[in-house]
């Protein structure tokens, strides 16, 4: 049978090269150019990897045109509305949703593993006051590799699982400690009587020996945020985790690097930037001025929480979050109604403005999440940290998938060199 191929003709030499087309279960086909350099002596050029598939994966599928996101074949809205973050984490790691008993066991194990070694607390003492929690988090996750050095060389499923469960369970504790230390507040240890998400909110907000009431709607809102962030195929931070993982570094070093990549405002830092921007705009009568700035080519100002590399119709995560934001407002859970008015006006204008329509710029997951997190009394500096807690199961699932390949190819792109040559003095 004739194989489907793409033919490339080099007009300089008139040579023809054929490359196989590979089909996934769904989504665009890919052209396998892995022998391109060997065949042609040339590299392909793809700044920002906009046309490059870097791996085969069975974890997450996004259809940016339809606004569809699936984890292991399950639609995100099903998981967000009917399941919990722990179900989702289990699904990402084990490839199937858990039964009631499996979920119960997983939850108990998460609780037991949520503590960090007492000696690790000294690390937090070393950071200056007001240190950004993302910096503390990245450093602490890297430091965790010193406590679990045995995870450096793992190749059995039970070893991967232990590594994975450990980091997912400890991430909220490290994150909460990062916040408490950076603010000079007493740390709160995990409470074994509380579930995963409730426990994180408790460690963030609680005080020693003081009862704290967390409303189910607040826990569900944060749990949904975690679920919506759990994986997003080969985005910048996941690609970072896979790239570091491809060198056989410690998995926690790979995740620490992923945290660094996520921190930037073009990625996980956007939710913090959205709130800061909404506060800067301040009132509905100033929205037009900022929309004008966003459209001005000579102004670096961008509307934070708008646009996405993959979603070109709508971001399904943003839709779900908008519903949650409005529900929290109805229930009087402290959503800043002035900022909601500003956000709604920005959204309304942008969705009908030629600049945004022609560039397919829609509200992304970060546009609404900041307002929800603010309503949950989570400080802005912690917004990207929340993203990290949610994304950790995705990172470890992607790391495991990479390690389970028959052979690991180190990530090593090439370049188009445009710098100077022959500058070395000849007679020295
Ligand atoms: N405001 C104004 N103009 C924008 C925006 C924006 N937020 N985003 C993109 N554009 C314009 C951009 O100037 C360019 O215009 P032109 O074609 O005239 O040069 C065009 O739209 C394409 O933009 P791009 O930067 O080439 O697109 P990209 O796919 O490389 O970048 C993005 C995607 C998310 C980095 C970008 O849209 C952005 O910076 N958005 C704001 C930051 C943000 O909300 N980030 C969170 C992303 S979702 C969470 C996550 O995955 O981490």
Give per-residue pLDDT as tens, 373-390. Answer: 999 999 999 999 999 999
- List, for residues 183-202, the tens digit of each pLDDT value: 889 999 999 999 999 999 99
Ligand 1 in contact with 235 (CB < 6 A)?
yes
Is it the case that residue 2 has pLDDT exceeding 70? Answer: no
Which ligand 1 atom minimizes the distance to the CA of 387? Answer: 52
Residues contacting residue 388 through CB under 8 Å, at least 6 positions apart: 134, 137, 171, 175, 259, 262, 268
pLDDT bucket at 421, cuts 50 / 70 / 90: very high
Return d(Cα 331, Cα 333) in angstroms, integer. 6
Closest by Cα among 145, 242, 203 to 382 = 203
Ligand 1 in contact with 307 (CB < 6 A)?
yes
pLDDT bucket at 110, cuts 50 / 70 / 90: very high
Cβ of 409: how many Cβ atoms within 10 Å? 11
Is it the case that residue 427 has pLDDT exceeding 90? Answer: no
What DSSP assignment string belongs to 43-109?
Answer: ----GGGTT------SSEEEETTTTEEEETTEEHHHHHHHS-HHHHHHHHHHSS---HHHHHHHHHH
Stretch 63-72: mean pLDDT: 95
Closest by Cα among 117, 88, 50 to 228 = 88
Which ligand 1 atom minimizes the distance to the CA of 232? Answer: 51
CA 178 to chain centre: 19
Q: Whose CA is nearest to atom 20 of ligand 1?
A: 359
Is it the case that residue 213 has pLDDT exceeding 90? Answer: no
Tokens 């119709």 -> residue: 313
Which ligand 1 atom minimizes the distance to the CA of 367? Answer: 44
Which of 301, 307, 368, 395 for a ligand 1 pocket mutation test, highest count of atoms within 8 Å of Cβ?
307
Return d(Cα 259, Cα 395) in angstroms, integer. 10
Q: Whose CA is nearest to atom 36 of ligand 1?
A: 307
pLDDT at 129: 87
pLDDT at 3: 81
Ligand 1 in contact with 302 (CB < 6 A)?
yes
pLDDT at 130: 86
Ligand 1 in contact with 364 (CB < 6 A)?
yes
pLDDT at 342: 95
Residues contacting residue 328 through CB under 8 Å, at least 6 positions apart: 217, 218, 221, 334, 335, 372, 375
Degrees, nearest 5: CA angle 220-224-226: 120
Half-sphere exposure of 89 (CA within 13 A, CB side): 29
Stretch 45-54: mean pLDDT: 96
What's this model's pTM, rounded to 2 decimal places? Answer: 0.94
Residues contacting residue 425 through CB under 8 Å, at least 6 positions apart: none
Mean predicted lDDT score pLDDT of the chain: 95
pLDDT at 158: 93
- List, for residues 267-322, the tens digit of each pLDDT value: 998 898 999 999 999 999 999 999 999 999 999 999 999 999 899 888 999 999 99
Max CA distance (Å), the chain: 80
Residues above pLDDT 70, as percent of the chain: 99
- Ligand 1: centre distance to CA 321 (Å): 20
Ligand 1 in contact with 316 (CB < 6 A)?
no
Among positive and negative, which fits the CA dihedral 231, 382, 312, 30?
negative
pLDDT bucket at 1, cuts 50 / 70 / 90: low
3-state SS assignment for residue 306: strand
Q: Which long-range contacts (CB under 8 A, 24 or more apart) does 309-313 make?
A: 309/48, 309/50, 309/235, 310/62, 310/64, 311/62, 311/64, 311/67, 311/362, 311/364, 312/64, 312/65, 312/360, 312/362, 313/64, 313/65, 313/66, 313/67, 313/360, 313/362
Is it the case that residue 263 has pLDDT exceeding 90? Answer: yes
Is it the case that residue 4 has pLDDT exceeding 80? Answer: yes
- List, for residues 394-411, the tens digit of each pLDDT value: 999 999 999 999 999 999
Residues contacting residue 61 through CB under 8 Å, at least 6 positions apart: 26, 27, 68, 69, 70, 73, 233
Return d(Cα 175, Cα 268) in angstroms, integer. 15
Of 99-103, 267-271, 325-329, where does mean pLDDT reach its minimum? 267-271
- List, for residues 24-43, the tens digit of each pLDDT value: 999 999 999 999 999 999 99
Ligand 1 in contact with 390 (CB < 6 A)?
no
């Amino acid at each position: 049978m004739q194989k489907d191929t793409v033919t490339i003709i080099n007009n300089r030499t008139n040579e023809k090269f054929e490359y196989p087309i590979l089909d996934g279960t769904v989504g665009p086909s890919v052209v396998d150019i892995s022998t391109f350099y060997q065949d042609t002596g040339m590299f392909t050029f793809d700044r920002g990897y906009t046309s490059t598939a870097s791996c085969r994966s069975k974890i997450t599928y996004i259809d940016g045109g339809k606004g569809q996101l699936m984890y292991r074949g399950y639609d995100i809205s099903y998981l967000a509305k009917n399941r919990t973050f722990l179900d989702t984490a289990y699904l990402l790691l084990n490839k199937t949703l858990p039964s009631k008993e499996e979920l119960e066991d997983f939850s108990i194990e998460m609780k037991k593993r949520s503590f960090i070694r007492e000696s690790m607390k000294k690390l937090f003492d070393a950071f200056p006051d007001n240190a950004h929690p993302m910096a503390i988090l990245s450093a602490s996750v890297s430091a965790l590799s010193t406590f679990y050095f045995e995870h450096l060389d793992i190749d059995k499923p039970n070893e991967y699982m232990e590594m994975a469960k450990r980091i997912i369970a400890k991430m909220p504790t490290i994150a909460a400690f990062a916040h408490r230390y950076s603010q000079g507040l007493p740390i709160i240890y995990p409470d074994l009587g509380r579930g995963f998400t409730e426990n994180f909110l408790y460690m963030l907000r609680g005080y020693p020996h003081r009862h704290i009431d967390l409303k189910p709607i607040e826990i569900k809102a944060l749990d949904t945020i975690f679920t919506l962030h759990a994986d997003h195929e080969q985005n910048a931070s996941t690609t970072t985790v896979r790239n570091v993982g491809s060198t056989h570094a410690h998995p926690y070093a790979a995740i620490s690097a992923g945290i660094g990549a996520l921190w930037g405002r073009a990625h996980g830092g956007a939710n913090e930037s959205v709130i800061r921007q909404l506060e800067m705009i301040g009132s509905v009568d100033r929205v037009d001025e900022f929309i004008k700035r966003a459209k001005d080519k000579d102004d670096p100002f961008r509307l934070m929480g708008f646009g996405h590399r993959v979603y070109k119709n709508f971001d399904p995560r943003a839709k779900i979050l908008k519903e949650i934001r409005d529900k929290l407002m109805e229930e009087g859970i402290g959503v800043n109604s002035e900022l909601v008015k500003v956000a709604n006006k920005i959204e309304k204008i942008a969705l009908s403005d030629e600049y945004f329509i022609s560039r397919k710029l829609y509200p992304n997951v970060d546009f609404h999440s900041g307002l929800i997190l603010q309503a949950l009394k989570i400080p802005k500096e912690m917004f990207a940290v929340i993203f990290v807690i949610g994304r950790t199961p995705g990172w470890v699932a992607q790391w495991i998938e990479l390690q389970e390949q028959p052979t690991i190819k180190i990530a090593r792109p090439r370049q188009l060199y445009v710098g100077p040559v022959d500058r070395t003095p000849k007679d020295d």
